[in-house]
Chains A and B, each alone.
Chain A
């Protein structure tokens, strides 16, 4: 592929990748890290354009996942972690929020193992089927399918189990 057609191809697919990866990162890290990792991810997509499969989003998520992991090992980890915690786990709102259902779900998600919660996020937020999840996580489609199924079951169970507490008041563990 010559340079021009390479550029053209990248320019065609980049907007969709940018949009998707921005969201992926916004869901998982603070804005500063998200910006850095987005640039890094695009750079890698550009360098490895020839390896990019037709279904390029899961592949791009996979790249972003690794870049994010790298970034989080970085020096500013401590500082950013604080920023992230305060954003992801804000002080509980006593005022009428979107409804107790969300709290319940959030609490249940926190009770899952991180990998289980992540698979559910990839499924619901990134809208990926098991095949796509497999590409992101670098596992087989079969394994992704099984893990997704188990994670769903576990989430349902966890929510049902905590349903009773919730009726009394504050379901946060």
Chain B
């Protein structure tokens, strides 16, 4: 394998990072601290714009006429979260929601805000995912009509949509809240064990 060693050594001599000075301890400390605290800070920054977009999107979702499942998202933004099919699907024990893969800048979630805006909130486990249609079996309803199952049309994945991996995954528990049939994004829905999410729900409901 000396051939390999030679080749590797030769490649290494061209390493552009060879002369890169190691980060100073202060720099490392800053980066570490930033990562651990940025969860909130990052979301706190672009508040105004996001709220306007989301509010706009939600208003649009509420006021628009009938809703086939697919359409989603206000025309000019990617921040509107999702749209329900309020009609027949909302009957009895099954609730239908949609979750778009919208990207949004968010501010830190607050229990009060969650309490004010959510009209439906539940905890559930993903049973099946078929053709972008996610079915969750409900284990607990925090707010809203009791339901056994919730179906969500999942259209994309971003970390803003769902805390955790950014999308629904089979067998995982989720805490999900919705308003007017739209899943609340920006840290209000996500994997049940996402940091702080359960506390948020306990405080809000």
Contacts and interface: CB of A to CB of B under 8 A. Distances in A.
Contacts of A32: none
B10 A19 contact: no
A42 to B, nearest CB: 4
A58 to B, nearest CB: 17
B7 A156 contact: yes
B35 A14 contact: yes
Contacts of A88: 16
Contacts of A24: 17
B19 to A, nearest CB: 9
B28 A105 contact: no
Given A106-B14, A125-B12, A125-B17, A42 B7 contact: no
A23 B19 CA distance: 10
Contacts, number: 77
A81 B191 CA distance: 37
Contacts of A27: 15-17
A121 B8 CA distance: 9
A16 to B, nearest CB: 10
Interface of A: 3, 7, 10-11, 14-15, 18-19, 22-24, 26-27, 38-39, 42-43, 45-47, 88, 98, 101-102, 105-106, 120-121, 123-125, 152, 155-156
Nearest to A101: B10
Contacts of B15: 27, 124-125
A18 B23 contact: yes
B32 A152 contact: no
B140 interface: no
Interface residues of B, number: 26
Interface stretch (B36-44, B65-73, B127-135, B172-180): B36-44
A42 B12 CA distance: 26
B4 interface: yes
Given A15-B28, A19-B22, A22-B23, A152 B7 contact: yes
B13 A26 contact: no
A155 B7 contact: yes
B91 to A, nearest CB: 38
27 contacts: A14-B35, A15-B32, A18-B23, A18-B28, A18-B32, A19-B23, A22-B20, A22-B23, A23-B17, A26-B16, A27-B15, A27-B17, A39-B34, A42-B32, A43-B38, A43-B42, A88-B16, A98-B13, A102-B13, A105-B10, A105-B14, A123-B8, A124-B12, A125-B11, A125-B12, A125-B15, A156-B3
